[in-house]
């Protein structure tokens, strides 16, 4: 078994305003050619200031871009719901057991309590809100957006060895 990168974004800017934000990033259907059993994401803090995440989750999306069912918590630092990412550094989430079906559309939700974070420019759909309550485990949330900024610089799934490097589609997206 091994990890396969499905989406990877180049850093195009950063926020340094310490704002509180909810952010949902859409992971489109058919991004992968195979199913996975785990997920993990990588986030990067801005150059001069640390970032704080108050929660992260993943779940299947409805057509209205709400979670179809209760989402799955993505943890950090060996099981914590929250994390601080040191200024200028990247951090990978814990491996999260999650049945990733290649034919489904997913949402990754982050609650940023100090949005000092690097971002890439996304042509994919995303949503944001300045709501100051952790809504990462809430199925339906009122959002503004899209922002065209993606805070997940890398999204990976865990797959069987037979598929690794042969049948997956890795997408590196830089710019629009």
Per residue in 79-100, pLDDT tens? 999 999 999 999 999 999 999 9
Is the torsion defined by CA of 61, 63, 69, 70 positive or negative?
Answer: positive
Are 168 and 155 a contacting pair, CB within 8 Å? no
pTM: 0.88
For 2-24, how does the pLDDT look when each residue is reduced to its tens digit (9 = 90+)? 999 998 888 898 988 888 999 99
Rg over alpha carbons for the chain, rounded to the nearest Å, is: 15
Is CATH 3.30.450 the right assignment for the domain spanning 2-173? no
């Amino acid at each position: 078994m091994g990890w396969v990168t499905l989406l990877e974004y180049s850093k195009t800017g950063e926020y340094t305003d310490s704002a509180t934000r909810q952010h949902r990033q859409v992971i489109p259907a058919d991004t992968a050619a195979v199913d996975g059993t785990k997920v993990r994401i990588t986030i990067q803090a801005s150059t001069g200031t640390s970032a704080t995440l108050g929660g992260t989750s993943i779940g299947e999306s409805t057509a209205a871009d709400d979670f179809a069912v209760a989402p799955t918590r993505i943890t950090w630092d060996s099981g914590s719901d929250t994390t601080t990412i040191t200024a200028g550094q990247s951090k990978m989430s814990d491996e999260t057991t999650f049945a990733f079906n290649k034919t489904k559309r997913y949402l990754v939700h982050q609650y940023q309590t100090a949005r000092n974070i690097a971002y890439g420019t996304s042509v994919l759909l995303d949503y944001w809100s300045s709501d100051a309550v952790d809504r990462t485990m809430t199925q339906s949330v009122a959002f503004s957006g899209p922002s065209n900024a993606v805070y997940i610089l890398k999204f990976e799934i865990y797959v069987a060895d037979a598929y690794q490097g042969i049948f997956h589609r890795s997408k590196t997206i830089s710019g629009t």
